[in-house]
């Protein structure tokens, strides 16, 4: 991670002097469970259909700026109209555009950290103040009364369900109350929505709240983090804003083609999602058993995404040993605010999860002696 040079600090806009490039702390490993990707192979029929679609895509023409065919497929998936969908170059672009359109100097974004670090990062790029209502330090439950109070004077709210990295989902009444309380836009980031239980998505609330925006992505359950495609669902006039501020050709022809196949094949993903959900429960039980078998103080939280948040003794060192001795990469949050001692482990394939459990068993046992 490089700080800006002295020379560049004088040249960039004053509010950008402290920025540093995002560092996903990636190093090549046999098992990468650090980025909440879907580590299962794409269903083979889907992969074949994508390859065919890509091969048939001309590269000499500009993309359809709004990706209307893809919007139609997404709208159909969610029982909405095309005019209620905007696609982006990953959910990240849409988060940036949300801040670009509705944030800005002298305006406030409300968040409930620990949450996705990109929210505060994009807010800082766009000079948006961040009002933080932290979660309970032990349970990570959001502070609902405080958040509702703060929402009344916020221009923008972003909440996450399931939340990254804590894994919990928000009660829908809370989302509705936020929509009533906030005079501006309320975004519910559902990047992990497909992994959660039935009935926790805010999508059905869109008809009732004109200031609600739901963010989704093809990067997680759909197993297409590499193609960079996300989308927002909202009322038509909100979508008009997203459509107006976006980089015109940000979603390229190959991405549009691959995403269209994936969305139309969504039923083929159901067994993979089911598998990840059951592996998540198995991994949770396994880690819980390891913690109680050692005298080590630790905790693993229940989560509804494709990852688990764990607190283990000497977490930063443990993460290094997993990487260096077992070639397993997990995400270290132990120096992030509110997440002391915490690692986030993506739920992988059964073999990958077994490797994590046996490595942790050895490392935690060694820790005891």
Ligand X SMILES: *Cc1c(COP(=O)(O)O)cnc(C)c1O
Residues near ligand X (CB under 6 A): 36, 90-92, 116, 160, 164, 189, 191, 217, 219-220, 225, 230
**DSSP letters for 120-179:** HHHHHHTT-EEEE-PPPTTT----HHHHHHHHTT-SEEEEESSPTTT-----HHHHHHHH
Nearer to ligand X by C-beta: 220 or 321? 220
Nearer to ligand X by C-beta: 36 or 294? 36
The three-state secondary structure class of 212 is strand
Question: CA of 93: how far to CAs of 63, 109, 136, in Å?
Answer: 17, 17, 30
Question: Are the C-beta atoms of residues 84 and 234 closer than 8 Å to each other?
Answer: yes
Cβ 305 to ligand X, closest distance in Å?
Answer: 8
Dist. CA 295–CA 367, nearest whole Å: 10
Cβ 152 to ligand X, closest distance in Å?
Answer: 25
Cα dihedral 196→202→203→206 (10° resolution): 180
Cβ 55 to ligand X, closest distance in Å?
Answer: 25
Cβ 191 to ligand X, closest distance in Å?
Answer: 4
- According to DSSP, the residues that pair with 299 across neighbouring strands are 311
Nearer to ligand X by C-beta: 124 or 327? 124
Cβ 238 to ligand X, closest distance in Å?
Answer: 18
Nearer to ligand X by C-beta: 309 or 355? 309
Cβ 214 to ligand X, closest distance in Å?
Answer: 12
Cβ 217 to ligand X, closest distance in Å?
Answer: 3
Dist. CA 100–CA 235, nearest whole Å: 18
**DSSP letters for 65-129:** TT-HHHHHHHHHHHT--GGGEEEESHHHHHHHHHHHHH--TT-EEEE-SSS-HHHHHHHHHTT-E
Give me the helices (H) in 218-330, please.
Answer: 236-245, 253-264, 270-293, 315-326
């Amino acid at each position: 991670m490089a700080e800006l040079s002295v020379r560049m600090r004088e040249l960039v806009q004053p509010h950008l002097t402290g920025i540093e490039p995002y560092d996903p702390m990636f190093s090549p490993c046999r098992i990468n469970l650090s980025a909440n990707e879907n580590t299962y192979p794409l269903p083979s029929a889907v992969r074949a259909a994508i390859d065919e679609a890509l091969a048939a895509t001309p590269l000499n023409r500009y993309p359809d700026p709004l990706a209307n065919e893809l919007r139609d497929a997404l709208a159909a998936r969610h029982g909405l109209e095309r005019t209620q969908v905007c696609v982006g170059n990953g959910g990240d672009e849409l988060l940036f555009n949300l801040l670009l359109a509705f944030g800005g100097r002298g305006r406030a974004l409300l968040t409930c950290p620990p949450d996705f670090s990109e929210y505060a990062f994009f807010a800082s790029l766009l000079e948006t103040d961040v009002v933080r209502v932290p979660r309970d330090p032990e349970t990570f439950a959001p502070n609902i009364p405080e958040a509702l109070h703060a929402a009344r004077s916020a221009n923008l709210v972003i909440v996450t369900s399931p939340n990254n990295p804590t894994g919990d989902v928000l009660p829908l009444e809370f989302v509705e109350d936020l929509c009533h309380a906030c005079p501006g836009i309320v975004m519910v980031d559902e990047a992990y929505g497909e992994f959660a239980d039935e009935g926790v998505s805010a999508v059905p609330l869109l008809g009732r709240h004109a200031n609600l925006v739901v963010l989704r992505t093809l990067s997680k359950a759909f197993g297409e983090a590499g193609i960079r495609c996300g989308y927002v669902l909202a009322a038509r006039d909100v979508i008009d804003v997203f459509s107006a501020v976006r980089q015109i050709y940000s979603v390229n022809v190959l991405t549009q083609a691959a995403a269209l196949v994936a969305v139309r094949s969504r039923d083929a993903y159901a067994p993979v999602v089911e598998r990840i959900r059951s592996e998540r429960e198995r991994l949770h039980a396994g880690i819980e058993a390891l913690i109680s078998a050692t005298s080590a103080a630790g905790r693993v939280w229940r989560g509804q995404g494709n990852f688990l948040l764990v607190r283990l003794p000497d977490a930063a060192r443990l993460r290094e040993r997993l990487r260096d001795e077992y070639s397993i990469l997990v995400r270290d949050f132990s120096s992030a605010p509110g997440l002391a001692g915490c690692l986030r482990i993506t739920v992988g394939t059964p073999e990958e999860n077994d490797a994590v459990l046996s490595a942790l068993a050895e490392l935690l046992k060694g820790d005891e002696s």
